[in-house]
Amino acid sequence: MFVIPSAASITTLFVIKTDFYMVKDTGEVRASVQAISPIPAGVTGNGKGFEVTEYAADASVLEHIDFANGPVLCKFESVLRPITNRFGKTTNTQVLTKLIQDQPLRQSAPAPVVKPAEQPKP
């Protein structure tokens, strides 16, 4: 049987802002994530440095992003979905669907070995 692979990918972003709004007509919640991205070399113009890039996201993704210590580096699973903008134009858009939790780099210290108390000798 022929199987078509999904167009899923892993994207790592330096997230600086999240936002969401509700579409009045449909009640659909639209969420977005803004991140800082390097400007690719050789793009039109002479821009150098970094730019703010906005990604569409599932609303459930926003709940897992914690800005308690400022901007955060996050790894997301993303897929291509057809999205219709407010002008009625439909395009295939990369949508962040899941925040991937990495294993902590530091391991906790091993628990100390507790020896049983010695019994007094008669």
105-120: pLDDT as tens digits: 444 444 445 555 555 5
pLDDT, one tens digit per residue, over 29-48 is 899 999 999 888 777 678 88
Q: Which residue reads 């906790």 in tokens? A: 108
Residue range 13-100 in CATH 2.40.50:
yes
Distance in Å from the first CA to the final CA of the chain: 78
User: Cβ contacts of residue 90 below 8 Å, gap of 6+?
Assistant: 82, 83, 84
Specify the 3-state DSSP secondary structure of 59: helix
Distance CA 97, CA 51 (A): 23
| Average pLDDT, integer, range 100-107 | 55
Which sequence spans correspond to the domains of the chain?
Answer: 13-100
